[in-house]
Amino acid sequence: MKKQREEEIKHLNQLGEWIRLNREFDIIDLFSELHPADIADLIDNLGEQEKIRLFSLLEVEKASDVIPELSDASREQILEDISDKKLAEIIDEMDSDDAADVIAELPEDQARAVLDGIEPEESRDLKKLLKYEEDTAGGIMQSELVKVPYDSTINNALNAVVQASDEMEVYNVFVVDRDNTLVGAIPLQKLITSKRHSPAIDAIDKTIPSVQTNIDQEEVARMFEKYDLLSLPVVDVGNHLLGRITIDDIVDVMEEESSEDIYRIAGLHENDNVFNEPMESIKKRLPWLYLNLLTALASVLVIGFFENTIQIVIAIAAFMPVVAALGGNAGNQTLILIVRGLALGEVTFENAKKAFYKQIVVGIVNGLALGIVIGVIAYLWKGMPVLGVILGLAMIINVFVGTLIGTLVPLSLKWLNADPALGSNIFVTAFTDAFGYLSFLGLATIFLKLLI
Amino acid sequence: MKKQREEEIKHLNQLGEWIRLNREFDIIDLFSELHPADIADLIDNLGEQEKIRLFSLLEVEKASDVIPELSDASREQILEDISDKKLAEIIDEMDSDDAADVIAELPEDQARAVLDGIEPEESRDLKKLLKYEEDTAGGIMQSELVKVPYDSTINNALNAVVQASDEMEVYNVFVVDRDNTLVGAIPLQKLITSKRHSPAIDAIDKTIPSVQTNIDQEEVARMFEKYDLLSLPVVDVGNHLLGRITIDDIVDVMEEESSEDIYRIAGLHENDNVFNEPMESIKKRLPWLYLNLLTALASVLVIGFFENTIQIVIAIAAFMPVVAALGGNAGNQTLILIVRGLALGEVTFENAKKAFYKQIVVGIVNGLALGIVIGVIAYLWKGMPVLGVILGLAMIINVFVGTLIGTLVPLSLKWLNADPALGSNIFVTAFTDAFGYLSFLGLATIFLKLLI
């Protein structure tokens, strides 16, 4: 891998020189040897003008392989510049799922011009694909697939693979009934090992399921993972074969979904990125921070209510944040486990109660363990046994409450049909902050009244 | 998918009844129809005694397919109970990578007994696999693969696939030189579409790379994603073919790695789970919370230092947490982008400076936007213009510092060869808390001195 990285840097320096010297033929030569993903990486690392120029040097077929591998930013810049005619030629060569993704990103009139410019059959296919929601089985499927009638032989199926091979990667041959109803799928390995004149239908792998178009892509990814699939047929409600989803797209879905989870917990937009233009990032993050500001004002209210108590024992002010911070972190730990468990399908409403009870025990024990330690520290440090007792008690309460809230916030969001990760960290810490101050200052006020 | 879930619940109820009625033959019948992953799901949902009993009803071959699909807890319970002889029989049937994973989980004497009980050749293979680090290409590869000499024909390669098909899933046929040096890989589709008597070597797909055993599994997953691979040959330093990694294992690696990232940011152990026994979870989380307690004491020190200032203007105590919380959340947003970018290979030391500058701009603008709003709120609420100014300034400083620290903490951890996610949220919030109090109370003290 070190070697690969070094090679990339070497290529990049080389390219820079050739661009300066206008040695286009050398560039075309280099590109002809490289994998589309590597060309995309090289282009991603260039300035905007150079990107467009280098992309224009690619042959149509190579260009169609490079586009899906480009970063979002590069693709946007290149698509803005390209002519409708050239783009239509490139789209014609692309897999339908990637083509639909590109068209979905275009401004409406450019999209219409491109759809009019490509082959009518492909245009019809694409328009159908564009109707499905982006995050569903329909939204990620492609219409290119190999299918044979149910009365075919293995030999027919093998021939169908040979015929299709210029156009697509084949993982399975699908067997359909007379009206295009899905009967089953035959893996390539099974085609190779079956007798050539035996019925194709006997070679069907019964463990390959199918999905309907409206199934969420996260659910689809889980099926690939559970059943070790390479490709999955997509059908309509009448079980008619519409398309297929392939493992390479699922790998992308998995990455997208897990980024989304991490991002949403922290109140980040799923398209945010460290290399985004600052103004774009700011627009995406600031709303969450303002929400956070609003929730933080709850803490101001709570503390303001107890100003008298703080005035009497000023040491209280110093220890307040400890109760809030620990409650927040304990809650965050549970929160993340629940969000991840929901995303992986391990946590469901049926077994949520079991998880809830276990987390409650964790909350109580962790609360005790932290409460006793901070109580002793505060006593030894400030020499006030009462401060130690109050602080310890408040800590026990708030760590327990944090764990409770960390369980309930994502489950409630899920129950409300919202994304369980969505800004959940902000809600949890807002609650543990406010409740931490309330329990600590409340206890302090009560003890003060008792002592005075 | 609804249907699938309902079916699972139906099966589960059915199973429960049959277990009560001792109708073992019905259970065996049901199992023979189900996918190993579905059997594993059913077993995962049972009590410990029932798990062990049901597992014992599985034939050896089915059992070998079910074991890798079980949850960690179920597998542990079943492995504890099973005899060494039965386990050796099952291991004999498993893919070598899964077998090595199971053996690595066993107590030492049981592992030795099992390794002595299986076929000598397989035992030798497994012992070799067990020497590789768990998270490397060597640790996830399997030794089962199909290879042919470099002077073979396509026909030879097809025959090799047929011969191997009882034993394994085949994705590629590898071509090796006389001393087992890797020459290349041929995808099944290419085998089908090539002329039967042409040289195998002409059908090699040059875009399929290879990896050495010591490459990190995250890096391997990135290669699968980039080059859309189904299987990847693993070689030693001399380019001798040792094994292969298949896409289904990579799907598991991706899930594992993204869970790990989310977990580590929050100070969670990678094996923690909402259904773990509470004592286990507590043992894993408490060390991080104690670390958090320690870092929170920094805030206590800072605030303690400014007790006089708070005593004079008590309203300061109420607004303190807002500065700390917003700095923490702004820092956390940047932190998560950097951690994720590092994990996906988008952020490197070479381009980190570019990311750093962009994040600084984001920090400054977000700080200004939040500082002005909170300043105005504080002024209108408490009627003290000075409080508004101090609060606004402190917010600007702390949101900026949070963004800075959110960039630097993961990059520094990476630079120290540690996991950039490891407890990074705890470090960032500890810093933004302490620094938030310092800037706010420090400014307040200076202004007070100027005014008095």
**8 Å CB contact between A218 and A253:** yes
Sign of CA dihedral B31, B37, B42, B47: positive
Cβ contacts (< 8 Å) between B329 and chain A: which residues? 266-267, 288-289, 292, 426, 429
Q: Distance (Å, rounded) from C-alpha A236 to C-alpha A217?
A: 16
Give the ipTM of the model, two decimals please.
0.83
Q: Distance (Å, rounded) from C-alpha B322 to C-alpha A433?
A: 10
Compare CB distances from B274 to A192, A272, A341 and report the shortest one's residue. Answer: A341
pLDDT score recorded for residue A294 = 87
Compute the nearest-CA separation of A113 from chain B (Å): 31
Compare CB distances from A261 to B35, B262, B369 and report the shortest one's residue. Answer: B262
More confident residue, B216 or B264: B216
Q: Distance (Å, rounded) from C-alpha A428 to C-alpha A92?
A: 49
Cβ contacts (< 8 Å) between B162 and chain A: which residues? 192-193
Q: How many A×B Cβ pairs under 8 Å?
A: 333
Tokens found for residue A46: 């260039």
Tokens found for residue B132: 């590789």
C-beta atoms of B161 and A355 within 8 A: no
Tokens found for residue B164: 């191997």
Residues in chain A: 452
pLDDT at A3 over 60: no
Compare CB distances from B262 to A158, A320, A336 and report the shortest one's residue. Answer: A336
CB contact B451 to A (< 8 Å): no
List the end-to-end C-alpha distance of chain A, in Å, as a whole number.
Answer: 71
Which 76-135 residues of chain B touch chain A by CB within 8 A?
none
pLDDT score recorded for residue B3 = 56
Compute the nearest-CA separation of B121 from chain A (Å): 26
Burial bucket for residue B206 (CB in 10 Å: 0-12, 13-18, 19+): exposed
C-beta atoms of B282 and A366 within 8 A: yes
Cβ contacts (< 8 Å) between A388 and chain B: which residues? none
- Model confidence over A203-234: pLDDT tens digits? 999 888 999 999 999 899 999 998 999 999 99
Alpha-helix runs per DSSP H in A313-451: 315-343, 352-382, 385-415, 424-451
pLDDT at A4 over 90: no
Phi/psi for A150 (5° steps) reads: -65, -20
C-beta atoms of B329 and A289 within 8 A: yes
Which 392-411 residues of chain B touch chain A by CB within 8 A?
399, 407
CB contact B10 to A (< 8 Å): no
Compute the nearest-CA separation of B161 from chain A (Å): 7
pLDDT score recorded for residue B4 = 63
pLDDT score recorded for residue A364 = 92
pLDDT at B250 over 90: yes
pLDDT at B242 over 90: yes
Q: State chain A's mean pLDDT as an integer.
A: 89
Strand partners, B244: B142, B233
Among chain B residues, the shortest Cα distance to A330 is held by: B289
pLDDT at A316 over 70: yes
Cβ contacts (< 8 Å) between B74 and chain A: which residues? none
Name all domains of chain A by residue range, CATH numbers in brackets.
2-136 (1.25.60.10), 147-246 (3.10.580.10), 278-451 (1.10.357.20)
Q: Distance (Å, rounded) from C-alpha A177 to C-alpha B49?
A: 46
List the end-to-end C-alpha distance of chain B, in Å, as a whole number.
Answer: 71
What residue type is B215 in one-letter code? Answer: I
CB contact A6 to B (< 8 Å): no
Of A162-176, A233-247, B70-84, least confident by mean pLDDT is: B70-84
Compare CB distances from A268 to B248, B265, B333 and report the shortest one's residue. Answer: B333
pLDDT score recorded for residue A258 = 82
Compare CB distances from B274 to A289, A292, A358 and report the shortest one's residue. Answer: A358
pLDDT at B171 over 90: yes
pLDDT score recorded for residue B396 = 93
What residue type is B97 in one-letter code? Answer: D
**8 Å CB contact between A285 and A269:** yes
Percent of chain A at pLDDT exceeding 90 = 50
CB atoms inside a 10 Å sphere around CB B392: 24
Exposure string over B260-272, b if 16+ CB within 10 A, otherwise e = bbbbbbbbbbeeb
pLDDT score recorded for residue A267 = 79
CB contact A281 to B (< 8 Å): yes
Compute the nearest-CA separation of A151 from chain B (Å): 21
Percent of chain B at pLDDT exceeding 70 = 99
Q: Distance (Å, rounded) from C-alpha A432 to C-alpha A332?
A: 10
Q: Distance (Å, rounded) from C-alpha B422 to C-alpha B417?
A: 11
Q: Distance (Å, rounded) from C-alpha A422 to C-alpha A262?
A: 10
CB contact B59 to A (< 8 Å): no
- Model confidence over A253-298: pLDDT tens digits? 998 888 888 888 877 887 787 777 888 888 888 888 888 888 888 8
pLDDT at A132 over 60: yes
Q: DSSP state, A202?
A: G
CB contact A322 to B (< 8 Å): yes
C-beta atoms of A300 and B321 within 8 A: yes
- Model confidence over B126-137: pLDDT tens digits? 999 999 998 899
C-beta atoms of A333 and B266 within 8 A: yes
CB contact B303 to A (< 8 Å): yes
Cβ contacts (< 8 Å) between A369 and chain B: which residues? 282, 286, 289
Q: Distance (Å, rounded) from C-alpha B146 to C-alpha B164?
A: 7
Tokens 């991603």 belong to A44
pLDDT at B5 over 70: no
Compare CB distances from B326 to A158, A211, A289 and report the shortest one's residue. Answer: A289
**8 Å CB contact between B368 and B400:** no
Tokens found for residue A357: 């009870």
Strand A182-187 with A211-212, pairing: unpaired
